[in-house]
Structure 1
Amino acid sequence: MSITLHASRAFDLLSSRYSMLPALSLDGILHLEVKKKSYTSESFNAFIDTLLDNMNPFPQNNSVLIMDNASIRKSAELREMIEAR
């Protein structure tokens, strides 16, 4: 967002974009990743693969994975990876 004073030209500084992806539980953070730029399906799947290593089989603690319905999370590959664990 740019703010200008009367008769002043607005300018924006170019900045880097970072994305943060946390996996939270009642006990705290299970897995956290911060990366430059946005997530792709491949990088999100890699995050979930690492997260699954920190999770337990159902019905133990940290055994349920809840995600929103963003399109990046709807791949058949991701579903198969999660169900295989």
Structure 2
Amino acid sequence: MTHQATQRCERVAITRIGENDFAEFPKSPSLQKFDPSDRKFVAVALTHHAKPAIANAVDSDWYNPKQALAEHGVKLDFLCPELF
């Protein structure tokens, strides 16, 4: 939030569908149970032209679906993989 007016951040538009779903989030049975509150991060990463990796420190909700996310082009960077 503190860097959104600088060159450190780029804004991308994502399309909200309902409370916690986005048009840009992959429509896949393997991701159907993915945490709704985290879907915005996947939508942003997939919409950005560089397809940046999503950094995750200790949120275990991202570890189990890592393969399903990778199949849809989502790159994850686990900062503390020894904790999973």
What TM-score results when the alignment is normalised by the length of structure 2?
0.34
* Structure number with higher relative contact order (C-alpha < 8 Å, ≥ 6 residues apart): 2
Q: Which has the higher strand share?
A: 1
